[in-house]
Amino acid sequence: MDRQEFISKLVTRNDTKIVLLVMDGVGDLPVNGRTPLQAARTPNLDALAKKSELGQAVPVIPGVTPGSGPGHLGLFGYDPIKYQIGRGILEALGSDVEVGEKDLVARANFATIDGDTVVDRRAGRPATEESAKVVEKLAEEIKKIEDIEISLYPGKEHRFVVKFTGEGLDERICDADPQKTGLPIVWAEALVPEAEKTARVVNEFLRRVKEILKDEEKMNFALLRGFSKYPQIPNFEEVYKLRAAAIATYPMYRGLAKLVGMNVVATGTTIKDEVETLKEIWNDYDFFFFHVKKTDSYGEDGNFESKVHVIEEVDDLLPEILALNPDVLVVTGDHSTPVPMKAHSWHPVPFMVYSGYVRAGASEKFDEFECARGVIGTIYAVDEIPLMLAHAMRLEKYGA
């Protein structure tokens, strides 16, 4: 029996409400002596820290840098090593793409290449409307490769989804993405003989993209990763007996929530919009996954001041969330995205739990170093859901 099965047997229902507020990539490293969390003006988060328990969470295992998929699976109580979910299925579900048994999906990024070198993995982060036009252009030109049908779906900014439909498709191919700028184009390779056809089709797709977009100034190539078919995964509500809602603006996080069985609710594009959505649905659910994306985006861009601004925006809106009187409020991230690294990292993630049953008074503010000294200590992200359930009085005693 794994820990999720074990916890599920202890779960009981009541009318408490839990909010999981995820500032994506919030953890950081100091720049000129301070992290964005330390530099930000956060009176509300700091006041809450004095009434909460703080700690830090390891997303997977120490030293392992997680993608957003594993990072969030851990937050939802799923062992990210046991459940290895391709990024493509998350992006597809979040974009309301139907995925069937014969489908293979991949998350795609528009990129800028110079010759065969990737000089910008995100093509300058084009406006969503601008990239959608290029997706439409590709869709008109690429409809079928061999006996495999090709479908394209626009996403946010530089992102889109590619769906391959047909017989004999296999997800066991490597990402067609060098993961860093300044490196050559990476072509798909089969990891098993059964996937050779899939790799061949993917590479032909990329060659056609390169030819069709050769005159585009920035969006002149595409990177594909997270090749995946529809996985089997336990249902969140069945496991934890929580009616769960997801409030997220980006397709991937909506897709991940949908995959585990959360109800993904419509919301606007701003954090303020998300707070208003939370208020509107407050009486309908027990568990609320509230996702803030831009802390991660600005970390990846190396934009310290903008990351600070997003943290301050969350802080300004925190009283409106607290006014709903959640029984448990957790503030954390799915992974760290340090500004100096411009990428995800292996560093533990700050973690704060507020409820009526905390050992409060040991912390002064919410930042990486206060969390490292917090009373919770260092735990694994997969253990956060049991803590939330315990603070919500939703776990029965174990044993006699």
Strand order in the sheet with 53-58: 263-264, 244-247, 287-292, 18-23, 328-332, 349-355, 53-58, 377-380
Nearest alpha carbon to residue 285 among 314, 261, 250: 261
Q: Give phi and psi for 19, each to the nearest 5.
A: -115, 125
- Mean pLDDT along residues 243-256: 92
384-391 helix and 3-10 helix, angle to the nearest 10 degrees: 10
Owner of token pair 């977009």: 213
Domain boundaries, the chain: 3-85+232-391, 96-228
- Mean pLDDT along residues 340-356: 97
pLDDT given at position 96:
83
Give the confidence band of 252 by pLDDT, cuts at 50, 70, 90: confident
Choose between 230 and 116: higher pLDDT. Answer: 116
pLDDT given at position 261:
93
Could you give the CA distance from residue 371 to residue 363 in angstroms, rounded to a whole number?
A: 8
Q: Give phi and psi for 183, each to the nearest 5.
A: -110, 160
- What are the angstrom distances between the C-alpha of 179 and each of 80, 121, 156, 232? 21, 8, 19, 27
Choose between 361 and 22: higher pLDDT. Answer: 22
The fraction of the chain above a pLDDT of 90, given in percent, is: 88
What is the CATH T-level fold of the domain 96-228, as seen in this structure? Alpha-Beta Plaits (3.30.70)
Nearest alpha carbon to residue 122 among 84, 177, 189, 171: 177
The pLDDT of residue 87 is above 80? no
At a CB cut-off of 8 Å and minimum separation 6, what does 271 contact? 292, 310, 313, 314, 317
- Mean pLDDT along residues 67-81: 94
Q: CATH number of the domain at 3-85+232-391, out of 3.30.9.10, 3.40.47.10, 3.40.720.10, 3.40.50.1370? A: 3.40.720.10
Under a CB-based contact definition with an 8 Å cutoff, are residues 174 and 189 in contact?
yes
Give the confidence band of 101 by pLDDT, cuts at 50, 70, 90: confident
DSSP-assigned letter for residue 192? S
